[in-house]
Chains A and B, each alone.
Chain A
Amino acid sequence: MKSLTVAKYTFSEFIQSKVLYNIFFLSLGLLVLTYVASEFTYGAPNKVALDFGLGAASISTLLISIFLGANLIVREIENRTLYMITSRPITRTEFLLGKMIGLIGIVIINTLILASVSLSLYFFLGGEWSNLIIFSFIFIILEAIIVLLVVILFSLVTNTILAVVNTLVVYVSSYAIYEVGKTTFASNNIVFKKMIEVGNFILPSLSNFNIKEYILYEKMIETPNLLYGFSYGVVYICFLLFIAILIFNKKNLD
């Protein structure tokens, strides 16, 4: 319950800090860009709308998670707001969960707004409904939560700038490992194959959440695969959360 109180005021603080203005301008940009791009597209302007929408939602949630997440706890320590809060009857775990839930709320609002804009355009331009569309937005949120937890973890053991840089490295490496793993060279070279397996084990496999091409090219994706992606996301989030709580509970808040 205490976490929800912290979440409520964290969410309120972010909302009032005008972060949603950025989402509004992004939505407007998305509308204009989609219109311009669809003018140059023959045959499938609705897919352009969806492609741009998924891309904008993915990038903006990623940026929100990284840049707001890097400061989420550190700023509390630096500004000593955390001292006022954690000197009340609330555990550090409840506080950390509350802060995260508040920011995840912003991520979800951001995704919902951009999804509504892009889907409105998609259907307006003659697009057809697919269940994968819902999954793609859920996966964007799951990916953003994982990135958020990674950046919080780094921010707890390093500083804000290093946390941002390290998280970007993790993000890019995760996708790079997936792409490299698909090459013939990698699959034929035993050492390289092992390295990719280790990389996949250590880093989050964010490619599990990228189902954009399945929607755009109307490829089939089995339900178990979707459920695997979803379960992987939930388990990975729990794992990162466990480590973040462990570190935060032991951290000296000097």
Chain B
Amino acid sequence: MFEVKDIKKSYKSDFWSKPNDVLTGVSFSVEEGQVVGFLGANGAGKTTLLKIMMGFSSMDSGEIHFFDHQEFKSVAKDIGYLPERPYFYPHLTGREMVEFMGTLCDFNSTAINENINKYAKRLKIDFALDRKIKGYSKGMLQRLGMLCTLIHNPRLIILDEPLSGLDPQGRKDIKDLIVELSNEGKTIFFSSHIVNDVEEVCEKVVVLDKGKIVYKGSIVDLINENSSQTVVVTLSREVLGLKELSLSLSNINDKPVYTIKESDREEFLAIALQNKSKVLKLVTSTPTLEEVVYSTGTVS
């Protein structure tokens, strides 16, 4: 669907200063029909890369191809892009703005109205479309932005932090819509610094850290490759020798709670039972994507 090859970008804060590398050889590709998350902390270079992809900003070197080796502008009709914290002409109404965006993609008013009817209610912005944009809240602007992004039925949807500024219900609505769009066969590339959001809607992830790709691939593989499962065991009483086997020991309601490695489970339970301590609770803990990506620093 699109391919990013060895993108390099550096900025100079002023004429005399040393260039600061923002992107250092970023390469990845996204296949048709995939929902891919683009993860990275603030300042990792996500928005810079998206701006380069959309042609807003130049790159020092590298190549970007959309749909079988084509330039962005020649296929812009098939791409929907939502920038971070979108803002629109405050004195126009929401409907006028959507019509403007649709007309630029050569859509006639019938087609535009069809898509307004299809998505406006779904995005819960239909009630405000005839109001001036200056009266919109942050969340409403985000919803309007999403409507503008989808108004021309794009095949590829690129979203830069689409959930920022939204309340929990708004976040759920947009996430559900992303899943629906994916089920319709659209390809979605979704940038965020909130790992949970990406984990909920994406099957694949590209992780960017300080301008470098540190992981690209399936979320499940990422978790499996970068985590060792642990088991949390609550016993009726403390047993000598178990502390040495465990990763941590805490007390909850006067009962010892041991965290142990999955590989040590059999030995741990045998010692506990030999010493007549009852196993009150045993939980296998699987880390979340967030724990893998951020708790361990960077992904190896």
Contacts and interface: CB of A to CB of B under 8 A. Distances in A.
A54 to B, nearest CB: 30
Looking at B77, B90, B100, B101, the one whose CB has the most chain A CB atoms below 10 A away is B100
B73 A91 contact: yes
B87 A12 contact: no
A16 B97 CA distance: 13
Interface string A2-21: 10011001001100110000
A85 interface: yes
Contacts of A254: 51, 56-57
Interface in B121-162: 132, 145, 148, 152
Given A88-B105, A89-B76, A12 B96 contact: yes
A84 B145 contact: yes
B83 A2 contact: no
A90 B96 CA distance: 18
A90 B56 contact: no
Contacts of B81: 83-84, 87
B264 interface: no
Nearest to A91: B73
A158 interface: no
Contacts of B85: 80
A83 B56 contact: yes
Given A84-B86, A252-B58, A9 B106 contact: no
A83 B92 contact: no
B105 A80 contact: no
Contacts of A79: 87
Interface string A42-81: 0000000000000000000000000000000000000111
B233 to A, nearest CB: 52
B84 A80 contact: yes
Given A17-B91, A89-B73, A89-B76, A84 B57 contact: no
A77 to B, nearest CB: 9
Contacts of A87: 54, 76, 79, 81, 83
21 contacts: A2-B104, A6-B104, A9-B89, A13-B92, A16-B91, A79-B87, A81-B86, A81-B87, A83-B86, A85-B101, A86-B54, A86-B56, A87-B83, A88-B77, A88-B105, A89-B105, A90-B76, A90-B104, A91-B73, A252-B56, A252-B57
Given A81-B89, A253-B51, A254-B56, 15 more contacts: A5-B104, A9-B89, A13-B89, A80-B85, A83-B56, A84-B82, A87-B79, A87-B81, A88-B76, A88-B105, A88-B152, A89-B76, A89-B77, A90-B104, A252-B56
* Among all A-B residue pairs, the 9 with the closest Cβ atoms: A16-B91, A87-B81, A83-B83, A88-B104, A253-B56, A89-B76, A79-B87, A13-B89, A17-B91
